[in-house]
Amino acid sequence: MTIGKLFHLIHMTGDVTALEAWYHDVFSVRDFIEHNYMPGEKRDASLVVLGDCVIEPLAPAFRVDGWDAMPLGRFYQRFGPHWHSIAWYADDATEIWRRCTDSGIRVYTEGGVPARTAPPASSAITTHPRDTISQLEFIRLDGSRLAELDPRLRPDWDPDWWVTSHPLGLRRLAYTTVLTRDLDRAKRLYTGVLGGTLLHEGTSELAGTASAYVLMGEQTIVELARPTRDDTIAARDHAANGEIHHAVTFTVADLERAEDYLTSAGIKVLERDDRTLITDPATTHGVPFRWTTWAVPGDPRD
């Protein structure tokens, strides 16, 4: 089983047009796939690129009958604006299906249809979020239209533009955070079943978590985080929503530069230490972001 490059992170919203405009206005994102409607999911979305990361602003297609019966619609009704899931390019959906189902993980195809038999290697598949803590998606890149559309795969792509030419000074995706109640179970799942590599374990006084950082695929670090006290964004999200995709953290070149720009863009900094800022979800369309100069020990990208 080979998991490759990060495909995207879904930012669920109730107003996808406003969210798309925000990403363009604040972060000067690049278009990957423009605003579109997918009948099989009854959703509206686009794909945008920020540094080395693709984000999918997404909303249920509220104008379409039955939107609320679809998996994405049910998620929005339960959680509202929130980080939703993590998707990767992968070589073989059949092998991932086999590894998952052998471990009791439920797997689905488009529209939440259960994949009770092995899908073709080229299929896009998703896991049940209760079984993998967050919903995970795997989709084949080779031979697909995505190989032609993904700007990050073009020879002239410059992920450092946000460092050299944008006031935020963003370098790359540092890691993305999934909240869990059982850190040992989460580590077994992401390393044993899904084949990730444990890089580091530690605690964060700022975030109020005990965490394990797992390298998934070519370059994506997933922070598996268990809240350790009650007075943090992570703890409140976990108390309200359980195990879930919680936050996205970007590496920045300079923390003061980043704070100045974020503040000027109307994004409020709630907490900080000497290496990380946590910004107010109320000022970032409902989802937590962090901005850091810290590198996960063992990060092979350094």
- Class of domain 161-292 (CATH, top level): alpha beta
How far is residue 277's CA from residue 269's CA, in Å, rounded to a whole number? 7
Instruction: Decide if pLDDT at 297 tops 90.
Output: yes
Here the tokens at position 273 are 């230490």
CA distance 300 to 199: 9
pLDDT per residue as tens digits for the range 143-200:
789 999 999 999 999 999 999 999 999 999 999 999 999 999 999 999 999 999 999 9
Q: What is the DSSP letter of 137?
A: E
pLDDT beyond 80 at 52: yes
Tokens of 62: 């509220």
> Does 1 have pLDDT greater than 80?
no
Instruction: Kindly provide the b/e burial profile for residues 245-284, where b requires at least 16 CB atoms within 10 angstroms of the residue's own CB.
Output: bbbbbbbbeebeebbebbeeeebeeeebeeebbbbebebb
CATH class of this structure's domain 3-153: alpha beta
Tokens of 291: 């901005």
Cα distance between the two ends of the chain? 25
Residues of CATH 3.10.180.10 domain(s) within the chain? 3-153, 161-292
Which positions ≥6 away from 49 have C-beta within 8 Å? 29, 30, 31, 32, 55, 151, 152
Alpha carbons 300 and 302: distance in angstroms, whole number: 5
When mean pLDDT is compared across 120-129, 182-191, 254-263, the lowest value belongs to 120-129
Over residues 236-250, the pLDDT tens digits come to 999 999 999 999 999
DSSP 188: I
Q: What is the pLDDT of residue 115?
A: 92
In eight-state DSSP terms, residue 44 is E
